[in-house]
Amino acid sequence: MRHACGLIVVAAVLADPTASGATLRGQPGPAALLHVLHTDTTISGVLPAGVRPGPTLSTFSLSANGIKHHALGAVLLQFGSKLDHFIVYEVFSTRKEAVADFRATPGSKGDVHVAVSGSLPRPSWAKNNALVGISGVSYVDGTVLVLVGVVWTRTMEQGSLSVATSLARIAENHLAQARAKA
């Protein structure tokens, strides 16, 4: 994938999504949550301008980093026919594993860290990378590492981080809804 460069870690669902998992303070087990995320593309909220509604699901093999930190699997929501706007949910058995993976994700040449919205869960980061033309926001919410990316276009380069931040908030709401369904 051309824009991977440390901004995203994408993986396939390798675990049995119906297997039981430990709960986190009354939350559904990670495997049940992964199953819901892997089947539900219902997004609530107003999408930022230029982001097409009706995301599609895609899966990929677990990265070495995800395997090292015991990721159960990941789901990619892609908005539109190109990989211009996306949300990745990488699900782990424990929050500790999700945070370890978040901290171990390598940066890329050209990454410029910027301030993160105070409303997003912690730990979190936001980056712009002019070398590959992408903006991203990432954070850990419970046992889930959330990664949001926006590929720059000629008209969107300047506003792409605000679009990524808006998508990150939508991802946070989507994750909360998925937990309620799991």
What pLDDT digit, counting tens, does each position of 87-144 carry?
Answer: 999 999 999 999 999 999 888 899 999 888 788 999 999 999 988 889 999 999 999 9
Beta-carbon contacts of residue 68 (< 8 Å; ≥ 6 apart): 101, 104
Give the mean pLDDT of 150-173.
85
Res. 26: pLDDT tops 60: no
- C-alpha 112/C-alpha 150 separation (Å) is 15
Q: Kindly state the tokens that stand for 49.
A: 């301008």
Which element (helix H / strand E) includes 56? strand 56-58
Q: What is the mean pLDDT of the chain?
A: 82
- C-alpha 115/C-alpha 109 separation (Å) is 19
Rg of the chain, C-alpha, whole Å = 15
| E-strand stretches of 63-180 | 71-79, 85-92, 111-114, 124-129, 134-141, 144-151
pLDDT score recorded for residue 168: 95
pLDDT score recorded for residue 5: 33
pLDDT score recorded for residue 156: 63
Give the mean pLDDT of 43-72.
86
Of 1-5, 104-108, 155-159, 174-178, least confident by mean pLDDT is 1-5
Q: What is the pTM for the complete model shown?
A: 0.83
- C-alpha 61/C-alpha 124 separation (Å) is 24
Q: At 64, is the secondary structure helix, strand, or coil?
A: helix
More confident residue, 17 or 138: 138
Res. 27: pLDDT tops 90: no
Res. 17: pLDDT tops 50: no
More confident residue, 87 or 4: 87
> Phi first, then psi: what are they for 133, rounded to 5°?
70, 55
